[in-house]
C-alpha cells in the first residue's frame, strides 16, 4: 500500500463527475504487480488481489463488485478510507511491529544476538530489560502495564521465551522477537496460506496472526487475559469515514493459524455518551470551550475520524498522527473547518471539505469541560 502511494498509483480520481479519494485502477495495479515482480502473470496478480478483497484489505470504491476484476475499475485500501476492521488481535500485531521498528532503529538497542545452552538466538532481550525500556520510552505507564503488554505479545506469537518454557515475566529470562518484521516479503506468500508446512517454515509471515494458548498442564506457562486494551498506532488517514470492529475472544487454538478480521460494521457505536444538539453547545454558560487546532497533514493525511452530524464529533484519533500532535481528542465537536462554519453539516460534507482543502488544516472544535 505504501509503495503504491509512493508510486502515485493511489491518488484521487474523478469518475462520472464524482471524485474518489485514494483509489487505484485495477488494471494499472495488475500491470504494476507484474512490472515489480510481485506476480509472474496477470492470473496470479488477480488471485493475489482477490485474497486481499476476501480478507477485507481492499474493496471496490462503491462496493458494487465483490470480486477483483482486471479492468478499469476503481478499488481502494480499507486503511485509506477508515473501513479496515481492527480486531484486538490485529492491534496487538501492529503494536508489536511498531515496538520492533523502534527497537531496531536505536543505536544502543536492547535487541542482541545472545547465547543460551550453546545455542545462539537472534533479536533477543531480557524480560527486565524490555520492561525498563517500555517504561522509559513511555510505551507503558508502569512495570505492571509493561508486563501485560509483554504477555499479550507473547500470547500472539510475536515474542517468545527462547526455549519456549515460560510466559513473559519481569525477570532476567531470555526472550526473542519470533517475527522478523523487516524481512522482505512477497505477496505470493498469501497463496500459501493454507499450507501448514509453509507456516511452520516461515514463522515471521506477515499474514499469520497467531494467538497461542499454552498447554494448561504446564504451570510455568499460564495464559492470562490482559485487562487493558492495548494502545496502538493505527493508520486512519485521508478520510473521515471509518468503521472499527473488535473481537473480544482472547484465545486461538494452539496451532498457528491464519486469522483475518471480521467484516467491518457499517455503523460503529458512537463514542459520545449521549446525543448533543447545536442549541446545547451554543447556549450561554454551556460547559464547552472552543479550541483552534492547526493540523499539518503528512504523506497520507491528518489522522482522525469524523462521525455524526449537526453537530459532528471526533470519533477516533490516530495516537501517532498529526491531529493527535495538534491536540485533537475524541468527543470534541467540529465547529469550523478552514474558516467555514460546519455545525449544521453532516460528516460526509465535512469530510469533503477536509479532503479538498489545503494540507494545513485549521479547525475549531468545542470540547466539554470536565
Q: How many CB atoms lie within 10 A of CB 7?
A: 12
Furthest C-alpha separation in the chain: 74
Q: Which fold has domain 88-177?
A: Arc Repressor Mutant, subunit A (1.10.10)
Report which secondary-structure segment, H or E, holds 100: helix 88-104
Q: So what's the pLDDT on residue 264?
A: 38
Whether residue 14 is preceded by a cis peptide bond, meaning omega within 30 degrees of 0, is no
8 Å CB contact between 364 and 335 = yes
Residue 43 to residues 31, 39, 54: CA-CA distances in angstroms?
11, 9, 16
pLDDT in tens, the chain (370 residues): 888 998 899 999 988 888 889 999 999 999 999 999 999 999 999 999 999 998 889 999 988 888 999 999 999 998 888 888 777 888 888 899 889 989 988 888 999 999 888 888 888 999 999 999 999 999 999 999 999 999 999 988 899 999 888 899 999 999 999 888 877 777 888 787 554 334 334 444 443 333 444 333 333 332 222 333 333 333 333 333 333 333 333 222 233 333 333 333 344 678 898 999 999 998 888 899 999 998 988 766 788 999 998 999 999 988 888 898 899 999 999 999 988 889 988 888 898 888 877 888 899 999 998 7
Contacts of 271 (CB under 8 A, 6+ apart): 313, 315, 316, 330, 331
Q: How many CB atoms lie within 10 A of CB 336?
A: 17
How do strand 112-116 and strand 58-60 relate by DSSP bridges? unpaired
With 0.75 as the threshold, say if the pTM is over it. Answer: no
Which among 135, 149, 137 is positioned nearest to 94, based on CA atoms? 149
Residues of the chain with CATH 1.10.10.10: 1-77, 88-177
Rg of the chain on CA atoms, in Å: 23
B/e letters for 25-36, b = 16+ CB within 10 Å, e = fewer, are: bbeebbebbeee
Report which secondary-structure segment, H or E, holds 23: strand 18-25
Cell matching residue 10: 493511489
DSSP state of 271: S
Task: Say how far apart CA 257 and CA 25 lie, in whole Å.
Answer: 32
Task: Say how far apart CA 68 and CA 363 lie, in whole Å.
Answer: 38
8 Å CB contact between 298 and 321 = yes
Q: So what's the pLDDT on residue 240?
A: 34
Task: Say how far apart CA 11 and CA 225 lie, in whole Å.
Answer: 41
180 SS3 class? coil
1 SS3 class? coil
Task: Say how far apart CA 190 and CA 50 lie, in whole Å.
Answer: 10
8 Å CB contact between 350 and 306 = yes
Q: So what's the pLDDT on residue 138?
A: 92
Task: Say how far apart CA 75 and CA 28 lie, in whole Å.
Answer: 11
8 Å CB contact between 202 and 196 = no
Task: Say how far apart CA 244 and CA 50 lie, in whole Å.
Answer: 22
8 Å CB contact between 168 and 153 = yes
Report the length, in residues, of the chain. Answer: 370
* CATH architecture for segment(s) 278-368: Roll (2.30)
Judged on CB neighbours under 10 Å (0-12, 13-18, 19+), 155 is buried
Q: Which fold has domain 1-77?
A: Arc Repressor Mutant, subunit A (1.10.10)
Q: So what's the pLDDT on residue 300?
A: 67
8 Å CB contact between 68 and 53 = yes
Q: So what's the pLDDT on residue 303?
A: 87
Amino acid at each position: 500500500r505504501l509503495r503504491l502511494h509512493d508510486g502515485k498509483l493511489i491518488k484521487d480520481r474523478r469518475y462520472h463527475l464524482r471524485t474518489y479519494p485514494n483509489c487505484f485502477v485495477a488494471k494499472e495495479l495488475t500491470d504494476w504487480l507484474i512490472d515489480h515482480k510481485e506476480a509472474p502473470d496477470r492470473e496470479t496478480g488477480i488471485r493475489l488481489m482477490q485474497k486481499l478483497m476476501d480478507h477485507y484489505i481492499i474493496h471496490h470504491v462503491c462496493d458494487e463488485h465483490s470480486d477483483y476484476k482486471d479492468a478499469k475499475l476503481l478499488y481502494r485500501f480499507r486503511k485509506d478510507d477508515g473501513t479496515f476492521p481492527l480486531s484486538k488481535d490485529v492491534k496487538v500485531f501492529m503494536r508489536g511491529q511498531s515496538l520492533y521498528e523502534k527497537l531496531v532503529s536505536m543505536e544502543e538497542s536492547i535487541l542482541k544476538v545472545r547465547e543460551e545452552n550453546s545455542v545462539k538466538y537472534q533479536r533477543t532481550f531480557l524480560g527486565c530489560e524490555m520492561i525498563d525500556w517500555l517504561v522509559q520510552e513511555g510505551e507503558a505507564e508502569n512495570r505492571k502495564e509493561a508486563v501485560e503488554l509483554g504477555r499479550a505479545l507473547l500470547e500472539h506469537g510475536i515474542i517468545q521465551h527462547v526455549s519456549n518454557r515460560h510466559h513473559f515475566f519481569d525477570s532476567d529470562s531470555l526472550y526473542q522477537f519470533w517475527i522478523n518484521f523487516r524481512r522482505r516479503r512477497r505477496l505470493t506468500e498469501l497463496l500459501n496460506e493454507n499450507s501448514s508446512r509453509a507456516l511452520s517454515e516461515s514463522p515471521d509471515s506477515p499474514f499469520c496472526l497467531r494467538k497461542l494458548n499454552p498447554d494448561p498442564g504446564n504451570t510455568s506457562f499460564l495464559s492470562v487475559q490482559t485487562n487493558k486494551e492495548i494502545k496502538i498506532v493505527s493508520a486512519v488517514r485521508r478520510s473521515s469515514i471509518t468503521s472499527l470492529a473488535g473481537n473480544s475472544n482472547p484465545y486461538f487454538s494452539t496451532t498457528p493459524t491464519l486469522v483475518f478480521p471480521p467484516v467491518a460494521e457499517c455503523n460503529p457505536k458512537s463514542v459520545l455518551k449521549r446525543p448533543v444538539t447545536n442549541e446545547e453547545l451554543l447556549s450561554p454558560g454551556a460547559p464547552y470551550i472552543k479550541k483552534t487546532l492547526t493540523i499539518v497533514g503528512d504523506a497520507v493525511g491528518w489522522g482522525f475520524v469524523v462521525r455524526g452530524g449537526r453537530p459532528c464529533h471526533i470519533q477516533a484519533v490516530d495516537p501517532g498522527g498529526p491531529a493527535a500532535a495538534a491536540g485533537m481528542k475524541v468527543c470534541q465537536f467540529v465547529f469550523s473547518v478552514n474558516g467555514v462554519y460546519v455545525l449544521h453539516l453532516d460528516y460526509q460534507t465535512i469530510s469533503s471539505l477536509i479532503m479538498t482543502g489545503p494540507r494545513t488544516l485549521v479547525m475549531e472544535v468545542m470540547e466539554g469541560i470536565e
